Structure 1
């Protein structure tokens, strides 16, 4: 099974409980703000520790309160693409892409040239983030995550704040990832059409 997750986390006066199981390589998370989407992504990435439960992706246990397993973030093999691209402003696109490579400990079999081709960013490699469009920044962020050789990808609203044309470019890049790489992907979105187009299995958090 690609995804086997059941966690509980108290946030303030509210307890968030999330359970999802899916054999699909791509799943989408939808739901209103405060439903627990970010809590789930942070828990999967190891940025937050659930109060109890378990997280297993691709048959590999990342967290289990019963078995006292809680892998460090750097040992989880997570490629996390945040809502904001979080590129280094002083580095070129090429340098940003290569940033994660020395610490690679995952499983994605993709090299620099393949990544650049897959994401359609060959013509912007020597630019810095200040000279990129929002869509270009997102594609570079996805590329940097891929080149860290992840075991899985977390895409947190990758089309947020993009106009339709730039959003379409990013969406096409995600489709190519889905069709080309055997990586489990969790995709968070508020857009029903976007979710339907990417396919996979959808989980509604409320």
Structure 2
């Protein structure tokens, strides 16, 4: 299943001009500041707004084509939509809300699949309640269940966590991870929170002032420093796949393996062999010419500088390939190894005489690494 979109649409003073192609299932984050056109874009995909020109194809089915005068109504687009505020019918029970869309879909899920969704979301005990008796997190779980039970070809999530406090966000995030890892449908996830992008997304589309600035794998995109329109919001960093190897006897830290290097993070609550995703912000990576000793930082990783990017102002971004061997400096073309990104002051880079192909050490405090499980059995 895939989505191919190329549209133009004027909304007040905003000229929306979006063009991207998502070929694989998984979560694609639509990221950008407020007012950049993200919500309008998924409303157009859902058929709630009609663009001025362009074409939209979902799972090889054309749902909009201005030139051919095709504009399928929302009910025929096989789209599941979860809004910021859940938008449950207040006069209906949870059960009635859940099956509202499913009853109108000719291609229904079988009973076993329906039961699996309800059990995954943990909402079976809520079936007789009305929305007024639900917490914010419960409402979003019901809204997500309603969208999934309709058996959509694509799932649209419009900042589904923005109205929740931190505790409720942590309650909901694992369900989105489960969808990413276990459901074979494309998911468009609107957000302006880079931490949510790093934790959930497989792909990233960056939008600002109605324009698609860039798109690609989240593992590549989060390290980019060439997106100046989002300066101050786009926090450059690195997303890395890793595997839990062990934990200390007191369960205070977990030891991970990433590209042949050991990474120490706060305890993740899972035993060895589980896959995880690490988010390391560029501003949290220090660089040392020699391996330091007698410091509290647990992660001292041999790396080779592959690129130095000047930024406006007093900082530079340093791209670092894992390893000190002869092939490390050829990372971009040959080695396929992960890259770390460090953001340091221009003065520090000059003081250390940093240059491309130089062998140095990346120093990372364990508490600055966000480690999230990549496989879930809810």
Alignment TM-score > 0.5, same fold: yes
CA 1:63–1:108: 2 relative to 1, 3 Å? farther
Question: Structure 1 residues 163-172 or 136-145, which shifts more?
Answer: 163-172
Say which SS state the counterpart of residue 35 (structure 2) adopts.
Answer: coil
CA distance in 2, matches of 1:164, 1:105: 38
Deviation, structure 1 residue 13 = 3.4
TM-score normalised to structure 1 length: 0.93
Match of 1:169 in 2: 171
- 1:15-164 map, 5 Å: 15-25=15-25, 26-105=27-106, 111-164=113-166
Structure of greater relative contact order (alpha carbons < 8 Å, 6+ residues apart): 1
CA contact (8 A) 1:108 1:146 kept: no
Higher-helix-fraction structure: 1
Deviations along 1:150-199, whole A, 9 cap, x unmatched? Answer: 11110001111211221112111111112221111101111111111113
Question: Structure 1 residues 161-170 or 37-46, which shifts more?
Answer: 161-170
- Tell me how large the CA RMSD over aligned residues is: 1.7
Runs of 4+ displaced beyond 3 Å: 105-111
Give the unaligned 5+ runs of structure 1.
none
CA contact (8 A) 1:80 1:153 kept: yes
Deviation, structure 1 residue 28 = 0.6
CA distance in 1, matches of 2:140, 2:10: 31
CA 1:108–1:69: 2 relative to 1, 3 Å? farther
Q: How many residues align?
A: 206
TM-score normalised to structure 2 length: 0.52
CA distance in 1, matches of 2:109, 2:8: 30
Deviation, structure 1 residue 14 = 3.1
Give the unaligned 5+ runs of structure 2.
209-378
Higher-strand-fraction structure: 2
CA 1:107–1:92: 2 relative to 1, 3 Å? closer
